[in-house]
Amino acid sequence: MGRLDATGVPLLLARLAVGGMFAYLAVMKLRDPIMFLKLTKQYGVLPLDPPLYLNLTAAVVPWLELLCAVALILGLARRGAALILAGLLLFFTPMLALHARDLLLHSGKFATFCAVKFDCGCGTGETFICPKLAENIALLVGALVALFSASQRYCLSTWLTRRPPAAAGAVPLATESACSGS
């Protein structure tokens, strides 16, 4: 497993998939912020009075998702971005499941859990709950790969912090040798 991680390919795929999906979903939410606000309200997690919490959440979450998505795609602050996106997924995925369960039990419109279909506010419109939960779990796995991968290959942060080679005969500073681990 370590060999595969060292290639940087799993990290690159996870970064592009998770970052790309979150960028898309964030843009969809930003295109209609009022609808995102209304759909966020349906979960009943945030207090309605004062509306500040609900409004602030609806205003900040899409921008936070977009910022983290771009950072993840570029490989800048990837662990922080992956941690935030994983945290969002760990919060919102159970909320989706609980809302679907409530719709199943109280609406009378659905025969089974997987038949429950609603607009979750994710930016994709109405969707069936089981594929949405599977998508969120796959995104969570990708975010965890990006978070825990030891590889730094194909990350912009690696290229930005790369030091130029020392001139021939130059004596390295004490701090340089201490930082390099030699």
31 pLDDT above the threshold of 90:
yes
Is residue 181 domain-resident? no
Q: Is residue 172 part of a domain?
A: no
Answer yes or no: is 107 within a domain.
Answer: yes
Range of the domain at 124: 2-156
**How confident is residue 129, by pLDDT bands cut at 50, 70 and 90?**
very high
33-41 vs 52-74: helix axis angle to the nearest 10?
110
CA dihedral defined by 114, 118, 121, 125, rounded to 10 degrees?
Answer: 100
How confident is the model at residue 141, as a pLDDT? 98
- The type of residue at 92 is F
**pLDDT over threshold 70, residue 164:** no
What does the pLDDT read at residue 165? 57
Residue 43 lies in a domain: yes
Number of domains in the chain: 1
Report the chain's mean pLDDT, rounded to a whole number: 87
Residue 121 lies in a domain: yes
Q: Is residue 12 part of a domain?
A: yes
In a domain, 51, yes or no: yes
Instruction: Please report the pLDDT score of residue 48 as a whole number.
Output: 81
Q: Are 154 and 11 in contact (CB under 8 A)?
A: yes
Highest mean pLDDT among 13-17, 107-111, 169-173: 13-17
**Is residue 104 scored above 60 in pLDDT?**
yes
Q: Does the residue 165 lie in any domain? A: no
